[in-house]
């Protein structure tokens, strides 16, 4: 009998036994797997950016935390029909991320990462950051709305 270390554990291995095939086990994806899938996911088609205060202003650092949470969140967000049928998906310290369905029918996104993509566009937009400064806002506050050709939009603001 031989001893071997496997995944940090000492196990006994028979010298005569042929190795059995290792079964593949489906495991709930880790945060790293979800981040990788996000990087490989087909994106919705960007259709415009509005840096006006649509729903107030949010704190930059808190919005970044919301983006990180959305990238890790599993499931498919859905919304009923209607022009601007908005859903609050993140609210912390008065800062918010919303997604709105502008289609006249119910609509589901492929994942919460589609909402995160919209928020990332706003957070990384010099236009939206500058608009906040021009309104006399503090440097770390911002707001904006990004539109997609698929008939939905994402808003960063307050809650």
Query: Does the residue 6 lie in any domain?
Result: no
Query: Does the residue 7 lie in any domain?
Result: no
Number of compact structural domains in the chain: 1
Q: Say whether pLDDT at 130 is over 90.
A: no
Q: 33: which 2 tokens?
A: 């797997």
Are 124 and 130 a contacting pair, CB within 8 Å? no
Quick one: average pLDDT of 53-70? 92
Q: 99: which 2 tokens?
A: 């997604």
Query: Does the residue 66 lie in any domain?
Result: yes
**What distance lies between CA 19 and its chain's CA centroid?**
42
Query: Does the residue 14 lie in any domain?
Result: no
The more confidently predicted of residues 135 and 150 is: 150
Q: 74: which 2 tokens?
A: 């599993």
Quick one: average pLDDT of 106-132? 89
Query: Does the residue 21 lie in any domain?
Result: no
Q: How many CB atoms sit inside 10 A of residue 100's CB?
A: 21
Q: What is the mean pLDDT of the chain?
A: 77
Range of the domain at 126: 45-158
Q: What pLDDT is stored for residue 138 in this prediction?
A: 55
Quick one: average pLDDT of 125-147? 78
Q: For 43, phi and psi rounded to 5 degrees?
A: -90, 155
Q: What pLDDT is stored for residue 21 in this prediction?
A: 44
Query: Does the residue 40 lie in any domain?
Result: no
Q: How many CB atoms sit inside 10 A of residue 135's CB?
A: 13
Query: Does the residue 74 lie in any domain?
Result: yes
């Amino acid at each position: 009998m031989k001893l071997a270390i496997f995944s940090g554990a000492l196990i006994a291995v028979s010298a005569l036994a042929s190795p059995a095939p290792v079964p593949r086990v489906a495991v709930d994806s880790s945060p790293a797997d979800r981040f990788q899938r996000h990087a490989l996911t087909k994106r919705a088609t960007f259709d415009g950016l509005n840096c006006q205060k649509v729903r107030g202003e949010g704190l930059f650092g808190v919005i970044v935390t919301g983006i990180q949470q959305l990238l890790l969140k599993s499931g498919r967000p859905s919304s009923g029909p209607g022009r601007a049928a908005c859903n609050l998906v993140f609210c912390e310290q008065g800062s918010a991320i919303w997604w709105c369905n502008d289609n006249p029918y119910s609509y589901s996104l492929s994942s919460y990462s589609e909402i995160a993509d919209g928020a990332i566009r706003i957070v990384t937009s010099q236009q939206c950051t500058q608009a906040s400064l021009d309104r006399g806002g503090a440097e770390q506050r911002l707001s904006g709305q990004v539109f997609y050709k698929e008939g939905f939009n994402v808003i960063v603001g307050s809650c």
